[in-house]
C-alpha cells in the first residue's frame, strides 16, 4: 500500500475540533509509512483549516453528484480510501467501488452520529415537557442506558444509514470503546468490521503552571457542534450562577470557533461570564486555567477538549456523557457529575482545594498514558490495514450483509447521483417542468 485518498466531510481544522485533530493524526501516521496521501473534499474551504501543503498532502476540491470525481479517481487509483464520516461514504463509496474495486474502503466514524442524535432527541423530548425556558435548562444530562438508546436509535433513519455504511466498508474506526460495544452487542455488527482506534493529536504541554499560578474556569468547544452550544446554555442558566454564589469573584472564559450572535450575546462581564470566541491555540489558554468545565448533556465519541485539558494538566468537571469512552476503570482527572448542583459543587472544590486539584491532575496524566498511547494505537491500525489488504477477498466474502447492502443501496444512490449529474449537465431539459 502506498497511495491513500481521504475523502473529507469537511477540511480538517485541528485548532477548532477534535475531529480535525484526529484527521491530522491519521495523515501523519500514513505519511510516516511512506504512503502518499491526497485529501479531497466537497466542503467550502474554511478559514481555520490545516496547512495540508506543509504535510506534503495535496488538497483537491471535489463536487457532489459529478462525474468529474470518477475521472479524478481513475487517475489517482488509491490503494486505500478513507471516508470521513458516513455521509462521505454514502456520496462517494459507490464511485470508489466502481473505479477502484481493490482499494480498501475504511470509514472514520469520528463519533457515532446516530448515538449523539438519539441523545439530543431524548433531551429535547424531556425539555418539551417543561414549561418555561428556565425549567428546560434545569434538565440534566441524558442518562439513558444502552437498552433505551438502542430502542431510540433502531427505528431512526440516521442509525440505519450509519450502520449500513459501516457494513459496506471493509473496516470502521471507532474512537470510543463504548460505541464499539454498543454496535456489537445491540446492533449485531461483527467485531471484524470494527477497529478501536484512539488516535488523536494530543501533544502534552511542556510547561504546566502549578495550582497557585493558575486562575479562572474555562470552557471550550466549536459552537457549530450542537452539544457544545447546549453546554454553554446549561452553564449560563444553571451551573454558573451556582458557582458564583460560592465564589463571587469567579471568572469563566468561554472559547470556541464560529460563535453565533446568540452566543456572544450571553457575554456578561459583571457576572464573570466571558464569551471570547476562537482561540488560536487551545493549549495556550487551557494551560493558564485552573479548572475546565464541560457540562455536556448529550453527545458521543471522545471529547477533545477533555483530552486537551489532561494534556495541559488542567483538571476538568464533566458529565457521564463527557467522560464516556475515555477513562475505562481509571479515576477521572477531576470530577464527573450528573446534575447542576453536583457539577457546581465539584467545580468549586477543585478550584479551592490544591491537594484535590493535584490528584486530579495526576489522574488525567495516567489516563492519557494508558488509554491514549499514540504509538500503540497507530501500530495496531497499520497492522490491521495490512492484514485486510492481504486477505481482502476473504474478508469481503465473509461480510455478506455488506455486499448485499452495497448491491442494493449503492444502486439507488448511484442512479440518483447520475440523474442529478445529468440534470446539471443539461439544465434546459427541465424547462417547463
Task: Give the mean pLDDT of 162-177.
Answer: 96
Domain boundary among 332, 348, 371: 371
C-alpha cell, 190 = 461483527
Residues 362, 380, single domain; the answer is no
Tell me whether residue 293 is in a domain: yes
Residue 304 sits in the same domain as residue 414: no
Q: Is 63's pLDDT higher than 60?
A: yes
Instruction: Answer yes or no: do 330 and 231 share one domain.
Output: yes
Residue 338 has pLDDT above 80, yes or no: yes
Asked if 53 and 176 sit in the same domain, the reply is: yes
Q: What is the pLDDT of residues 121-167, one digit of tens each?
A: 999 999 998 877 778 888 999 999 999 999 999 989 999 999 999 99
User: Average pLDDT of 168-173?
Assistant: 97
- pLDDT at residue 400 above 50? yes
Please report whether residue 121 resides in a domain: no
Same domain, 157 and 196: yes
Nearest to 270 by CA among 248, 293, 254: 248
Per-residue pLDDT, 133: 76
Does residue 400 sit within a domain? yes
Residue at 19 is within a domain: yes
Residue 85 in this model has a pLDDT that exceeds 50: yes
Give the number of domains in the chain. 2
Task: Tell me what percent of the residues of the chain surpass a pLDDT of 70.
Answer: 94
Closest among 159, 311, 306 to 220, alpha carbons compared = 306
In a domain, 312, yes or no: yes
For residue range 408-426, list pLDDT tens digits in order: 765 666 666 666 666 676 6
Full domain range(s) for residue 282? 211-371
Question: Residue 140: its pLDDT value, please?
Answer: 94
**For residue 433, what pLDDT is reported?**
40
**What does pLDDT average to over the chain?**
92
Same domain, 42 and 95: yes
432 pLDDT more than 50: no
Between 280 and 362, name the one with better pLDDT.
362
pLDDT at 410: 57
Do the domain assignments include residue 137?
yes
Confidence check: pLDDT of 360 > 70? yes
User: Is residue 411 a part of any domain in this protein?
Assistant: yes
| 175 & 51 share domain | yes
- Reply yes or no on whether the pLDDT at 378 is more than 90: yes
Provide the pLDDT for residue 418: 65
SS (H, E, C) the chain: CCEEEEEECCCCCCCCCHHHHHHHHHHHHHHHCCCEEEEEECCCCCCCCCCHHHHCCCEEECCCCCCHHHHHHHHHCCCEEEEECHHHHHHHHHHHHHHCCCCEEEEECCCCHHHHHHHHHHHHHHHHCCCCHHHHHCCCCCCCCHHHHHHHHHCCHHHHHHHHHHHHCCEEEECCHHHHHHHHHHCCCCHHHEEECCCCCCCCCCCCCCHHHCCCEEEECCCCCHHHHHHHHHHHHHHHHHHHHHCCCCCEEEECCCCCHHHHCCCEHHHCEEEEECCCCHHHHHCCCCEEEECCCCCCCCCHHHHHHHHCCCCEEECHHHHCCCCCCCCCCEEECCCHHHHHHHHHHHHHCHHHHHHHHHHHHHHHHHHCCHHHHHHHHHHHHHHHHHCHHHHHHHCHHHHHHHHHHHHHHHHHHHHHHHHHHCHHHHCCC
Q: Is the Cα dihedral 273, 278, 284, 287 positive or negative?
A: positive
Mean pLDDT to the nearest integer, 291-295: 98
Phi/psi at 103 (nearest 5 deg)? Answer: -75, 140
Residue 87's pLDDT band (boundaries 50, 70, 90)?
very high
Residue 333 contacts residue 315 (beta carbons within 8 Å): yes
Q: What is the domain-level CATH number for residue 399? A: 3.40.50.2000
Q: What is the mean pLDDT of residues 326-332?
A: 96
* Residue after which a domain boundary falls, among 371, 387, 411: 371
In a domain, 433, yes or no: no
Nearest to 239 by CA among 346, 136, 336, 340: 340
Domain final residue, candidates 322, 339, 371: 371
Residues 253 and 366 in one domain: yes
Asked if residue 269 and residue 236 are part of one domain, the reply reads: yes
Taking 80 as the threshold, does the pLDDT of residue 341 lie above it?
A: yes
Q: In whole angstroms, give the CA distance from residue 287 to residue 348.
A: 18
239 and 192 share a domain? no
Q: Report the C-alpha dihedral over residues 309, 313, 316, 320, rounded to 10 degrees.
A: 70
Do 253 and 195 belong together in one domain? no
Q: Are residues 187 and 216 in the same domain?
A: no
CA distance 89 to 18: 20
Task: Give the mean pLDDT of 221-250.
Answer: 96
pLDDT of 97 over the 50 cut: yes
Amino acid at each position: 500500500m502506498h497511495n491513500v485518498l481521504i475523502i473529507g466531510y469537511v477540511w480538517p481544522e485541528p485548532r477548532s475540533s477534535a475531529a480535525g485533530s484526529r484527521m491530522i493524526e491519521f495523515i501523519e501516521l500514513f505519511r510516516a509509512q511512506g504512503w502518499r496521501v491526497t485529501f479531497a473534499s466537497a466542503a467550502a474551504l474554511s478559514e481555520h483549516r490545516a496547512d495540508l501543503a506543509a504535510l506534503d498532502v495535496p488538497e483537491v476540491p471535489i463536487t457532489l453528484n459529478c462525474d468529474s470525481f470518477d475521472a479524478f479517481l481513475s487517475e489517482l487509483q488509491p490503494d486505500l480510501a478513507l471516508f470521513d464520516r458516513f455521509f462521505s461514504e454514502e456520496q462517494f463509496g459507490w464511485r470508489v467501488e466502481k473505479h477502484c474495486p481493490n482499494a480498501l474502503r475504511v470509514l472514520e466514524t469520528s463519533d457515532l452520529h446516530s448515538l449523539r442524535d438519539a441523545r439530543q432527541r431524548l433531551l429535547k423530548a424531556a425539555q418539551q415537557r417543561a414549561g418555561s425556558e428556565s425549567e428546560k435548562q434545569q434538565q440534566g444530562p441524558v442518562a439513558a442506558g444502552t437498552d433505551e438508546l438502542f430502542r431510540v436509535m433502531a427505528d431512526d433513519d440516521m442509525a440505519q444509514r450509519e450502520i449500513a455504511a459501516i457494513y459496506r466498508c471493509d473496516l470502521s474506526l471507532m474512537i470510543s470503546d463504548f460505541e464499539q460495544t454498543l454496535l456489537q452487542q445491540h446492533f449485531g455488527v461483527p467485531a471484524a468490521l470494527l477497529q478501536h482506534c484512539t488516535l488523536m493529536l494530543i501533544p502534552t504541554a511542556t510547561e504546566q503552571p502549578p495550582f497557585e499560578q493558575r486562575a479562572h474556569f474555562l470552557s471550550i468547544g466549536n459552537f457549530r457542534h450542537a452539544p457544545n452550544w447546549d453546554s454553554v446554555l446549561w452553564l449560563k442558566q444553571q451551573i454558573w450562577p451556582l458557582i458564583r454564589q460560592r465564589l463571587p469573584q469567579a471568572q469563566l472564559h468561554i472559547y470556541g470557533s464560529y460563535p453565533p450572535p446568540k452566543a456572544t450575546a450571553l457575554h456578561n462581564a459583571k457576572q464573570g461570564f466571558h464569551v471570547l470566541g476562537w482561540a488560536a491555540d487551545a493549549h495556550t489558554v487551557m494551560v493558564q486555567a485552573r479548572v475546565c468545565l464541560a457540562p455536556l448533556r448529550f453527545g458521543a465519541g471522545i471529547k477533545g477538549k477533555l483530552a486537551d485539558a489532561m494534556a495541559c494538566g488542567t483538571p476538568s468537571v464533566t458529565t457521564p456523557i463527557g467522560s464516556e469512552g475515555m477513562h475505562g476503570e481509571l479515576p477521572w482527572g477531576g470530577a464527573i457529575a450528573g446534575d447542576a448542583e453536583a457539577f457546581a459543587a465539584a467545580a468549586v472544590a477543585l478550584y479551592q482545594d490544591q491537594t484535590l486539584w493535584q490528584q486530579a491532575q495526576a489522574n488525567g496524566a495516567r489516563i492519557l498514558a494508558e488509554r491514549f498511547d499514540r504509538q500503540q494505537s497507530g501500530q495496531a491500525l497499520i497492522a490491521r490495514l495490512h492484514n485486510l489488504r492481504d486477505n481482502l477477498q476473504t474478508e469481503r466474502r465473509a461480510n455478506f450483509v455488506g455486499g448485499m447492502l452495497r448491491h442494493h443501496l449503492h444502486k439507488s444512490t448511484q442512479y440518483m447521483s447520475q440523474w442529478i449529474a445529468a440534470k446539471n449537465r443539461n439544465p434546459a431539459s427541465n424547462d417547463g417542468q
